[in-house]
Amino acid sequence: MPDRYWIDELPQHVGETVAVRGWVATTRSSGKIAFVVVRDGTGSLQAVLSKKEVASEVWDAFGKLTQETSLEVIGSVRADPRAPGQVELQTTDLRILGPSPEFPITPKEHGTAFLFEHRHLWLRSKQQVAIARVRHEVVQAIRDFFHERHFTLVDTPILTGSIGEHAGTLFSVDYFDLGKAYLAQTGQLYVEAAAAALGKVYCFGPTFRAEKSKTRRHLTEFWMVEPEVAWNDSDANMRLQEDFVSYIVRRCLERRTNDLQELGRDLAPLERVAPPFHRISYTDAVTKLNQLGSAMEWGRDLGGEDETLLAKQYDRPVFVYNYPKAVKAFYMKENPADPRTVLNNDCLAPEGYGEIIGGSQREDDYDKLLARIRAEKLPEEAYSWYLDLRKYGTFVHAGFGLGVERTVAWICGIPHIREAIAFPRTLYRLWP
């Protein structure tokens, strides 16, 4: 039995007899020569069969192949610059491993609802595979960026008694005799504690928001990376963000160009992503939006349409900074120059994709933080540990959260973040 290889390994085995396992993408035959395109997740391979050169049972097996049948093909690897991966397989043997009845997802057009009902099968399509590979690159780039800069990964709890965002967006569960626990909206409060121990830290994992939103930018479960840095102020926080986002985009351009091209992504806008990013204060952004025809009023948070309208005015990401205190979380640092606002920022991706990062300098004054907790009517006892960070050696610090799915959707150029994760959770979807 010849050695078995993955398809992406075959260029190193030209002239050898090998075995390959995978799934049928397409078949065609002239009656004398047959072709099977096999995919295995690492690439695609054209297997060629000659009726007069293979055993009759092998030719008969070819006739039984249907889309997504799993099989093993054996043959000689031959260089062919026209073929996928620049090699093809001159096949001598073919064995069906798992037959497939009529596959639900065919080359014809399918509606979005149908495709998400069959998400577990839709993942096999070329475009969904390309998105998954770009997401993988984004995740790996995130880890490499922080590793190279000597950040320490801190794993924060998913079940928590302390909320980090608005109370109205919580998923609650009964937690034994302690009452209610919540699925974490953020790991931020915990990495703030870790920053006092380790200086530069980040957490990375799933987060949950019970928002009854049906927009293309929202999921109820999504992945977020949240760095926190001791001694960084709001300005340093934005500089870290623009270095971070630029690094991720550059990695995808270097390593996932083929996947982006499979998606039909225009690479030119991504190639422009480099520091410095544009910056505009919230107050100036409101003025600009009004000039562009928006009815946006000072004191409201920017909505999705406003973010899109504003971001389209720039050729690369833009920071909107110093939002009104009333629309932002309790932990954000009051702006000394204008106490109506806080030292925060949102990073808006260009091309209409809107917010991909929310960040801020944190309130390091014990009394001001306590006052905000009380003003928000949050349970003081649940935040006693968080207040301790300001009691025992308070320090200037800042951080941010980047949503992986929003970032992947922007880099891939896809219209909805549902496709940016393998199994999305939305207001109306809990399966598959």
Q: What is the pLDDT of residue 106?
A: 84
Q: What is the pLDDT of residue 166?
A: 62
Same domain for 293 and 150? yes
Q: Which of 98, 129, 151 is the last residue of a domain?
A: 98
Same domain for 75 and 131? no
Min mean pLDDT across 31-35, 164-168, 205-209, 276-280 is at 164-168
Question: CA end-to-end span of the chain, whole Å?
Answer: 38
What average pLDDT does this structure show over 117-140? 97
Same domain for 125 and 27? no
Residue pLDDT, tens place only, 375-403:
998 889 889 999 999 999 999 999 999 99
Average pLDDT for the chain: 95
| Domain CATH number, residue 188 | 3.30.930.10
pLDDT at 11 over 70: yes
pLDDT at 162 over 90: no
The label of the residue with tokens 């909505």 reads: 303
**335: which 2 tokens?**
């702006």
∠ CA 295-409-251 to the nearest 5 degrees?
A: 125
Same domain for 343 and 397? yes
Q: What is the pLDDT of residue 164?
A: 61
pLDDT at 410 over 90: yes
Q: What is the pLDDT of residue 182?
A: 92
Residue 430 belongs to some domain of the structure: no
For residue 230, what is the DSSP state? E
Count of structural domains, the chain: 2
Q: Would you place residue 215 in the very low, low, confident or very high pLDDT band (cuts 50, 70, 90)?
A: confident
Same domain for 73 and 194? no
Q: What is the pLDDT of residue 48?
A: 97
pLDDT at 218 over 90: no
Cα-Cα-Cα-Cα dihedral sign, residues 330, 242, 186, 130: positive
Same domain for 127 and 73? no
Q: What is the pLDDT of residue 1?
A: 84
3-state secondary structure of 189: helix
Same domain for 135 and 68? no
Report the alpha-carbon distance of residue 294 to residue 154 in Å, rounded: 42
Same domain for 227 and 93? no
pLDDT at 428 over 90: no
The upper half-sphere exposure of residue 149, i.e. CA atoms within 13 Å in the direction of its Cβ, equals 19
Same domain for 147 and 67? no
Report the alpha-carbon distance of residue 24 to residue 69 in Å, rounded: 5
What average pLDDT does this structure show over 147-165? 90
Residue 106 belongs to some domain of the structure: no
What average pLDDT does this structure show over 169-191? 93
Residue 426 belongs to some domain of the structure: no
Q: 82 φ, ψ to 5°?
A: -85, -20
In which domain, by residue range, is 330 found?
A: 119-420
Same domain for 369 and 315? yes
Residue 126 belongs to some domain of the structure: yes
**86: which 2 tokens?**
């620049």
Residue 284 belongs to some domain of the structure: yes
Residue pLDDT, tens place only, 76-111:
999 999 888 899 999 999 999 999 999 999 877 889
**How far does CA 392 lie from the centroid of its chain?**
37
Same domain for 162 and 253? yes
Min mean pLDDT across 150-159, 212-221, 231-240 is at 212-221
Residue pLDDT, tens place only, 41-65:
999 999 999 999 999 999 999 999 9
Min mean pLDDT across 164-168, 307-311, 364-368 is at 164-168
Q: For the chain, what percent of residues have pLDDT higher than 70?
A: 99
Rg (CA), the chain: 26
Q: For the chain, what percent of residues have pLDDT higher than 90?
A: 89
Same domain for 137 and 89? no
Q: 123 φ, ψ to 5°?
A: -55, -20
Q: What is the pLDDT of residue 168?
A: 67
What average pLDDT does this structure show over 227-239? 98
Nearest to 142 by CA among 203, 187, 61: 203
pLDDT at 204 over 90: yes
Note the pTM of the prediction, 2 decimals.
Answer: 0.95
| Domain CATH number, residue 12 | 2.40.50.140
Min mean pLDDT across 171-180, 321-330, 335-344 is at 171-180
Q: What is the pLDDT of residue 382?
A: 87
What average pLDDT does this structure show over 182-210? 96
